[in-house]
Amino acid sequence: MMNEALGLGLLQGLTEFLPVSSSGHLGLARIILGMGAPSLEFDLVLHVATLFAVLIYFSRDLLSLLLEWVCGFFNGHARAWAGWRFGWAIIVGVFVTAPIAIFLKKHFVESASENLLWLGGNLWITAILLFSSKLIREGGGTVRIRDGLFVGLLQGIAAMPGISRSGSTIWAGLLTGLSREEAFKFSFLLSAPTILGATLYDAREIGGSDAFFRSLPDGWLQGAIVSFIVGMLSLACLRKLIVSDRWWLFAVYCMSIGSISVIVHFTGA
């Protein structure tokens, strides 16, 4: 049981941030490898672990941008600062993401996560987005409030397993004219309240702290630590690949895994 907890923590840490879809990989692991799905409680623990990875990795940016956003309420000049635009763009993005993600989760996510054809097709969509990023000329823009609309829309759609959240939101940011560094930063700062909101939404089904801890598998803490550490490394790796414009290479991986999923679906191999 501990080995499975460690494996799920490793899978979460690797795929939550890299543009390959963590939910898609969890679905594939369940169907093809026979790996059990994490309990709701352990799933929440892993998401909290990756949330901490985002908060710590971007702690300096978070503090400075938050300070600038708060200053904007008291100082008119501060509303020209990056933090004012960033803060409102994140709020707009979350409000766009939430209803789309909730609708998809209620009606499509569960069935799609158990269907290899769905998973394979969505991984192909991710691959196409990543490949097409090579056609987008890098802009020099910084985040504007209206960018939250488009990036938030893509983030909501990425609730579907197989469609990468990071891949689709970074792609959307580049399409709106952001620099690669800015698109990377906005994607993951937007992910923090989204992960927190999704965790709180799912936590409604938990009966209390005693029931919560009793439901956690052996090795849950080690799994969470692995998820956190691997998540931090994944963020650092992805940033370098995006800035150097080599992150599209993940498209080859997504295309390969997606193709295998579709073949297994039709052949039953």
Say yes or no to pLDDT of 39 above 80: no
Say yes or no to pLDDT of 141 above 90: no
Closest-CA residue to 169 (of 182, 181, 186): 186
Q: What confidence score (pLDDT) does residue 218 get?
A: 82
Residue 199's pLDDT band, with cuts at 50, 70 and 90, is confident
Lowest mean per-residue pLDDT among 212-221, 239-248, 251-260: 212-221
DSSP symbols for 205-258: T---HHHHHHHSPTTHHHHHHHHHHHHHHHHHHHHHHHHTT-GGGHHHHHHHHH
**pLDDT tens column, 83-119:** 999 999 999 999 999 999 999 999 999 899 989 999 9
**Residue 226 or residue 212, greater confidence:** 226
User: Which residues have C-beta within 8 Å of that of residue 246, sequence separation ≥ 6?
Assistant: none
Count H helices and E strands in the chain, helices first.
Answer: 13, 0
**Residue 187 or residue 37, greater confidence:** 187
Closest-CA residue to 112 (of 96, 99, 123): 123
**pLDDT tens column, 81-93:** 999 999 999 999 9
Asked if 254 contacts 132 with a C-beta cutoff of 8 angstroms, the reply is no
What's the rounded Cα separation, in Å, for the pair 165 and 154? 8
Asked if 47 contacts 22 with a C-beta cutoff of 8 angstroms, the reply is no
Mean pLDDT score of the chain: 91
Q: What confidence score (pLDDT) does residue 161 get?
A: 95
For the segment 5-26, the average pLDDT, to the nearest whole number, is: 89
What's the rounded Cα separation, in Å, for the pair 188 and 194? 10
Q: What is the pTM of this model?
A: 0.93
